[in-house]
Amino acid sequence: MRVEYINPFVEASFNVLREVLQSDVKRGELYLKSTSMPVMGVAAIVGLAGDVEGRVLFDMDKPTALKVASAMNGEELPTMDDLVKATITELANMITAQAVTKLHELGFRFDLTPPAIFTGDNMEVTDQDVEALIVPMEVPQGRIEINVAIRERS
Amino acid sequence: MTMQAELEKKSDSRTEEKKERADRVDFKMVTFSLGGKEYGIDIMNVKEIAKASKFTYVPNAAPFVRGVYNLRGEIISIIDLRTMFHLPSERKQDGSLESLLILRVEEHVFGVIVDNIDKVVGISKSSLQPPHPIFGDINVKYIRGIVENAGKLYIILDVEKIFMVDKDLKGARKEAAYEAPKPGMSERAFTSMEADGGDLDLGFIEETLFSFRHFAVTPVNDAWVKARFGQWKGMRKGTDLQLKEPGEADQYLETFYSRCSSVLWDSGYADQVLPVLPAAESRTINVWNPGCGRGHETYSFALLLRRKYPQARIKIWANDSDLLAISMAPNMTFQEQEIPEAYREHMVKGKNGYSFSQAVRDSIFFEFHDVQNANPLPPLDIILCRDTLSFMDVVQQKRLIAEFSERLKASGIVILGGNEKLVAGGWKSVSGDEAVSAYGKD
C-alpha cells in the first residue's frame, strides 16, 4: 500500500473515534496481513474506487459494537437492533470519508461505495492476494480493528 | 479366392487401418498463429470459432481485455491474446473482422482474438513434448507442450492455467506450504558444514548470522560468506571465531553491504550501473525495487534511469516492510552539504531543506508492503533488489527469485547487491563489471 495513504487513515480513525466517543483512544502497532482472518463479530465494509481499488473493513466484537453505539447515541442499547447497525455503519462512513477527504487534499482521487455491515458468529474474511494494513485502535469500549486494503489500478 | 472374400478382406484391412489411426489421435487441437508463431489449443476447450468486430469497450478493464461482445444473446468478454502475452499485434482497420476463438473453460465462456485461425489437427499424447524455456514469448507454465505436425511446430497452450488464475494460485500456495517445514536454519548450512570437512566454526557463524540478523546463507551469498570467513579468521587471529552477540554479527556483515547503501549514489557507482541497463523496449520503463529502505537508492536509481531513458515514462514500485523507514521516503529532505553535485538540478528547496522535484517523485510509488504477500505488478524491465534477498530465509528467497523470473520481461534485468549472486538455473550474468551484480534471463 502506498505510504501516502497510511497516515490519512490512521489520523481519520483516531480523530473520529475520539470525537464521537469523547474519550481517550490508543493506537496499536500497525502491521500488514494477507491471509484470511477471523472477523470478531461485527464488520462494516466500505469499498474504494477511482485511481485505486480497495476496501476498508471495520471489525469489532459484539459487546464493543453495542457499547460504541450506546455511547454515540447517548442511550443504552442492549441488543443488536437496526439503530446499532446504522450507528456502526455511520461510524465506518465518517472515518472513511474523512480519510478520503484528506487524501483528496493530497491529490489522490478516491470514490466511496455505501457501507455495508455484517454481523454473526465465527465469520472469516478471505480476499485472495490482497495485502491489508491493520490499524488496531483501543477505546474504552473495546478494541476496533481497521483493516485497509488498497492497490493501484495498473 | 472369390470376389466376395477379396472384398471382405480389403474392407477389413481398411477398418484396421482406420482403427490404428484413431488409436494414435488422442486429442485434437485448433491451430492458430500469434505474432508469427504457431499455437494450438485443445479442441475440447474451443466452443466455436467466429469472426467479429466492434467490441463494446469496457472502461478500466485490464489492457488485454478488448471489450465485451454479444454472441447470440450471450455477453462474453473478449481477450486479446497478443496483448496478454506481449506479442506484437496489428490493430485491424475499423470495421474489418478479427478472428475469434470462443473458449469454454469450466463454466466460463469467452472469446480470444488471435492473428489467424488455421485448421484442426489430431495429435497423439506420445508426440507431445514438454515445453522448453526457449519459447520465451509466453511464460512456460502456460504451455502444455510442443508437437510437430506436417513439418510445423505447434505450441499447445494450457487454457485452464491461463484463464483459471485463482485455482492455480491456490495450488501454488499449497505447494509452498508443504515446502516450508522449517523456516529457521537453512538446509544448505548443514550440508556445507559437512562438505567443508566439518568446518564447524563457519557452520556456527552461518547459524548465528541467521538468528541475530536474519541473514540466511544460501547460494545467493555463500561465496562472500566463505571469503569473509577467511578475513574473519585473520582479524580474530584464528581464535574465538564465533559470533556471540548481534553486534558481532554486524561486524561480520560490515563488508557485505553494497556500495552507496543508505546514501545517495555517488557518480562513480552510478556510472558502473549505467552500462548494465537494458535497451528501452517500450515507452514505459517499469521498475520494481523491493527492500528500498529509506529510499536513497530508489531516488538515485530514478535519476539514473532518467539519464539512460530520457524519452521514456519511468515508473518505480519501491517497497519495504519496515514502516518507519518507508514512511520517511516520499518526503525525504536533505541539507545542502549532503547533496552530491549531480543531484542538485533535480532538487527543489523547501522549508526543511532540499527535496527531489515533483517530476522525480511522481515516478516513484513508495509502498508499505511485504514482498512475501501478493505483488500486483505489471511486467517489469528492471528489478533492483540490493542486499534484500540475503535477509530472507531459504524458502522466501526461492519464492522471490521465482517471482522475479515470472514478473521480468524477456529482456529485463535483475540487479542484486554487490556481494550477491544469482546462480539458479535460467539466469545469466549481464554485467562485465565485478562491482555490479546484474542478471538477465538465460
B323 touches chain A (CB under 8 A): yes
Confirm if B40 and B87 have CB atoms less than 8 A apart: no
CATH of the domain at B296: 3.40.50.150
Across the interface, do A2 and B367 touch by the CB < 8 Å criterion?
Answer: yes
- Residues from A in contact with B at Cβ < 8 Å: 1-4, 6-7, 30, 32, 34, 128-131, 133, 151-154
* B413 shares a domain with B279: yes
In a domain, residue B52? The reply is: yes
> pLDDT (tens digit, 9 = 90+) per residue, B118-176?
888 888 877 888 776 665 556 777 888 888 887 888 888 888 888 775 544 444 433 33
Between CA A47 and CA A53 the distance in angstroms is: 8
B294 touches chain A (CB under 8 A): no
* B280 shares a domain with B199: no
C-alpha cell at B235: 582479524
B331 touches chain A (CB under 8 A): no
Q: Domain count of chain A?
A: 1
Binned at pLDDT 50, 70 and 90, residue B13 comes out as low
In a domain, residue B393? The reply is: yes
* B289 shares a domain with B212: no
Q: Give the domain extent around A51.
A: 3-152
**Positive or negative torsion for Cα A91, A96, A102, A105:** negative
Between CA B157 and CA B42 the distance in angstroms is: 8
B367 touches chain A (CB under 8 A): yes
Across the interface, do A3 and B367 touch by the CB < 8 Å criterion?
Answer: yes
- Parallel, antiparallel, or unpaired: how do β-strands A26-27 and A37-39 relate? unpaired
ipTM over 0.90 threshold: no
CATH of the domain at A145: 3.40.1550.10
* B271 shares a domain with B248: no
Between CA B233 and CA B243 the distance in angstroms is: 12
Across the interface, do B378 and A133 touch by the CB < 8 Å criterion?
Answer: no
Binned at pLDDT 50, 70 and 90, residue B191 comes out as very low
Across the interface, do A32 and B321 touch by the CB < 8 Å criterion?
Answer: yes
Phi, psi dihedrals of residue B411, rounded to the nearest 5°: -95, 5
B322 touches chain A (CB under 8 A): no
Closest residue in chain B to residue A51, using alpha carbons only: B60
Q: Which residues contact B119 (CB under 8 A, 6 or more apart)?
A: B30, B31
Confirm if A56 and A45 have CB atoms less than 8 A apart: yes
Span A37-61, mean pLDDT?
88
B183 three-class SS: coil
What is the DSSP track for B189-251?
HHHHHHHTTS-HHHHHHHHHHHHHH----STTTHHHHHHHHHHHHHHTTTS--S--SHHHHHH
Binned at pLDDT 50, 70 and 90, residue B29 comes out as confident
Between CA A17 and CA B19 the distance in angstroms is: 77
Closest residue in chain A to residue B326, using alpha carbons only: A3
B160 touches chain A (CB under 8 A): no
> pLDDT (tens digit, 9 = 90+) per residue, B370-419?
888 888 888 899 999 988 888 888 888 888 988 888 888 888 899 988 88
* B413 shares a domain with B284: yes
Binned at pLDDT 50, 70 and 90, residue B14 comes out as low
CA distance A77 to chain B (A): 39
Across the interface, do A154 and B378 touch by the CB < 8 Å criterion?
Answer: yes
What is the DSSP track for B105-160?
ETTEEEEEEESEEEEEEEE-GGG-B---TT-TTS-GGGEEEEEEETTEEEEEE-HH
* B313 shares a domain with B247: no
In a domain, residue B11? The reply is: no
* B207 shares a domain with B305: no
Span of B194-208, B281-295, B344-358, B362-376 with lowest mean pLDDT: B194-208
Confirm if B157 and B39 have CB atoms less than 8 A apart: yes
Q: Give the domain extent around B51.
A: 23-167
Between CA B196 and CA A35 the distance in angstroms is: 40
CA distance A88 to chain B (A): 28
Option in A3, A131, A153 nearest B366 (CB): A3
Q: Of the ranges A12-16, B142-146, B179-183, B368-372, which is most confident?
A: A12-16
B368 touches chain A (CB under 8 A): yes
Per-residue pLDDT for B231 more than 90?
Answer: no
* B101 shares a domain with B40: yes
Between CA A24 and CA B51 the distance in angstroms is: 66
In a domain, residue B180? The reply is: no
> pLDDT (tens digit, 9 = 90+) per residue, A70-124?
999 999 999 999 999 999 999 999 999 999 999 999 888 888 999 999 998 888 8
Count of CB pairs separated by less than 8 Å, A with B: 50
Q: Domain count of chain B?
A: 3
In a domain, residue B108? The reply is: yes
CA distance B200 to chain A (A): 38
CA distance A107 to chain B (A): 12
Contacts of B364 in chain A (CB under 8 A): none
In a domain, residue B317? The reply is: yes
Tell me which H or E stretch contains B400.
helix B394-407
Per-residue pLDDT for B179 more than 60?
Answer: no
* B311 shares a domain with B429: yes
CA distance A30 to chain B (A): 8
B177 touches chain A (CB under 8 A): no
* B407 shares a domain with B293: yes
